[in-house]
Structure 1
Amino acid sequence: MSWVSEGSGLTPDAAAAWLKPLLDNAGDIKRAYRRRVPPELLAMVTSEGKPAQADAREAAVLVLFSGPADSPTGAMPDEADLLVTVRAGTLRHHAGQAAFPGGAVEPGDHSPVQTALREANEETGIDGQRLHPLTTMERLFIPPSGFHVVPVLAYSPDPGPVGVVDEAETAHVARVPVRAFINPENRIMVYRKANTRRYAGPAFLLNEMLVWGFTGQVISAMLDVAGWAKPWNTEDVRELEDAMALVGRGAGYGDAQP
């Protein structure tokens, strides 16, 4: 499947003023993403032409920021949020993981934008007519599932109601305050027990979910390139199951986690 145009349907001028630092530096997200990927995994992610990538399927995810277009100070408003889902525990790939809404390209999809909006509607019920797709990021390869994924950055001042549409596919849908991702107290490094600490990647320990893996890497990269990231303790490295056991213990998105 080849998309007709990766840029079709984009409206970058619709971005909120506080999103401009991210939009202006979106081209650096892939480089920032790679900085925190362990060397062995990076070799898999970037080795174009290897059999694992030659057979990869195309996919797109919706990276939707919402909130007021302006704020009194011109900085990011407290109401700014990011749409995140938690995948159903019965799925074949990435079961139980926090993720951006999205999925594989289907016949009739002519761009990453179309795929991301369709999938987001199917997973969260969101009305695509209320969204402004701003830009497409460089596609990234996810070795465990064998997908080439294009993140579609979008904005809406008011995306309307969202929720779980199909419990067999999605366990939870949330508009998470961006300040929760920025808060250094919510940031840790996570690795799988089957691997070693050297494979640890950035993660976000929130009161309703642990955001790690591909989604955690992309969010971390976005904070870096937009200049939103604050210094955090990268030496706080936890095994995945131990980190998951802490989910739900916090008092709120903006509060420190244990």
Structure 2
Amino acid sequence: MTDLPDWWEPLLSKVAGAKASDFTRLPTPDEGGRSSAVLVLLGEIRPGEPDVLILERSANLRSHAGQPAFPGGASDPGDHDAVATALREANEEVGLDPDSVHVLAQLPTLWIPVSGFLVTPVLAWWREPHEVGPVDPGEVARVSRLRIADLVDPANRLMIRARMGWQSPAFKVDGMLVWGFTAGVLSTILDLAGWSRPWPTDRVEDLPASAAPLR
């Protein structure tokens, strides 16, 4: 595409050759698991200032309560591929107009054993941003556009330690603690794009009791 902002490179070139092992240490099983997809939607708050769309799930949900996440969810029988799933879920969750989006790549499918999902992140350019927000407040508490400049700020980065001692990258941005699968994908994307800055990986905090626990 000729109308993509310059900051899309080298990210697009890097993701073309990316493997699941670039994002996680967990091998993706050859069979089993429930297919799902998430939309990694990058736009611009202002020209030359990329951002990413993140939602915060309702605190009343039975699973992933209060957790920041990419729009997305399980595949429906009518979804012909991961792109269809990601765009449908984003429309249902935050009111995203699929016609405002240009899908650029599908990232490797990743295994989340805690939920049994096989998740395909769909990378897209939000070429025509518009107002979005929770469609059902019972499912989505709020929607934010997080600036990449804030995500790469070393002051906003840390490692989160879960109850079993598992550690992973996290971000404290816009009043949210972004952790788990979402933070892991974001961290790798920042690295692939060449946006990452050195940050204190020895800054480790325990996962707050208010956050959705890892089983």
Q: TM-score, normalised by structure 2?
A: 0.90
- Match of 1:118, SS state, is helix
Structure 1 partner of 2:33: 56
- In structure 2, relative to structure 1, the CA distance for the partners of 1:232 and 1:211 (3 Å cut) is same
Q: What whole-Å deviation, never above 9, does each CA across 1:36-63 have from its counterpart, x for those lacking one?
A: xxxxxx3xx21625xxxx4310000000
Cα offset, 1:208, TM superposition: 2.1
Q: 1:204-223, aligned counterparts within 5 Å?
A: 204-223=171-190
- Match of 1:63, SS state, is strand
- In structure 2, relative to structure 1, the CA distance for the partners of 1:128 and 1:155 (3 Å cut) is same
The residue type paired with residue 43 of structure 2 is S
Query: C-alpha separation between the residues in 1 aligned to 2:3 and 2:21?
Result: 25
Q: Which has the larger radius of gyration?
A: 1
The answer (yes or no) to whether the contact 1:32–1:225 under 8 Å persists in 2 is no
The residue type paired with residue 64 of structure 1 is L
The residue type paired with residue 86 of structure 2 is A
Structure 2 partner of 1:28: 18
Query: C-alpha separation between the residues in 2 aligned to 1:182 and 1:243?
Result: 25
Specify which of 108, 117, 125 is matched with residue 155 of structure 1: 125
Q: 1:112-131, aligned counterparts within 5 Å?
A: 112-131=82-101
Q: TM-score, normalised by structure 1?
A: 0.76
Cα offset, 1:167, TM superposition: 1.2
| Number of residues of Structure 1 aligned to a counterpart in Structure 2 | 210
- In structure 2, relative to structure 1, the CA distance for the partners of 1:243 and 1:183 (3 Å cut) is farther
Q: What whole-Å deviation, never above 9, does each CA across 1:127-162 have from its counterpart, x for those lacking one?
A: 110110001001001111110000000002332011
The answer (yes or no) to whether the contact 1:15–1:134 under 8 Å persists in 2 is no
Query: C-alpha separation between the residues in 2 aligned to 1:230 and 1:103?
Result: 31
Structure 2 partner of 1:37: none
The structure carrying a bigger helix percent of its residues is: 1
Query: C-alpha separation between the residues in 2 aligned to 1:168 and 1:235?
Result: 36
Which stretches in structure 2 are left out of the alignment for 5+ residues? Answer: none
Structure 2 partner of 1:82: 52
Q: Output the aligned Cα RMSD.
A: 2.0
Query: C-alpha separation between the residues in 2 aligned to 1:136 and 1:181?
Result: 22
Cα offset, 1:23, TM superposition: 1.0
Cα offset, 1:238, TM superposition: 0.3
Q: Does 1:229 align with 2:196?
A: yes
Query: C-alpha separation between the residues in 2 aligned to 1:47 and 1:179?
Result: 31
Query: C-alpha separation between the residues in 1 aligned to 2:2 and 2:119?
Result: 24
The answer (yes or no) to whether the contact 1:138–1:150 under 8 Å persists in 2 is yes
Q: Percent same amino acid at aligned positions? A: 43
